[in-house]
Amino acid sequence: MPDIVTEIIHKYNYWLYIILMMIGLYAMIAKNNLIKKLIGMNIFQTAIILFFISIGYKEDATIPIIVGGHGPEMSHQAIEAAQYMNPLPHVLMLTAIVVSVATLGVALALVIMVYQRYQTLEEDEIRMRVTQ
């Protein structure tokens, strides 16, 4: 049993993002209201973002901006890869955040259209009115 506990403590970032992701997935599957489904989708996306950012982290490293990288006192000392965090996950997640904003905007527009047509956002009521 202590094995599992140390495992969780060493990899708590993965546990956190998986729990968050499953909350989002459950909301997308089980919730009846379309807005709640959208919130679930956003929680899911946030979990993925958290996962990638945690991959980029390194012990004893600073943010990926070169110290003394510009200006008159520009230093010419060698840059070691262990000094700076991995910039690639940050870049990927920057674009992912933008995509999540774009999808959320279009999704909200669609939800407004659905509401204007059926006067409700509950999924079972919408299904009832579609079959009528």
Partner 1 sequence: MKLAGLIIVMICGGLLLTATQDFPAWGDPSSPASTHLSPHFITEALHETGAPNLVTAVLADYRGYDTMFETVVVFGAGLACILLLRTYTQRTRGREYRHIPTGIVIHIQDPNKAPKGQREFQLIDNMWVPHDLIIKTVCRILIPFIQIFGLYVVCHGDFSPGGGFQGGVIFGASLILLALSFDLRTFLEQMSEKALGLLCALGVVIYSGIGCMCILLGGNFLDYSQLAAVLPVDPGHVRALGMLGVEIGVGFSVMSVMAILYVNIASAGRHNQGL
Q: Is residue 127 a contact residue for partner 1 (CB under 8 A)?
A: no
Nearest approach in angstroms of CB 126 to partner 1 is 15
Helices 87-118 and 123-131: angle between axes, nearest 10 degrees: 50
Contacts of 109-113 with C-beta under 8 Å, sequence gap 24+, read: 111/34, 111/35, 111/38
Nearest approach in angstroms of CB 20 to partner 1 is 11
CA–CA dist 34, 49 (Å, integer): 23
> Residues in the site for partner 1, rule: CB under 8 A?
7, 10-15, 18-19, 21-22, 25-26, 29-30, 54-61, 63-66, 69-70, 78-84, 86-91, 94-95, 97-99, 101-103, 105-106, 108-110, 112-113, 116
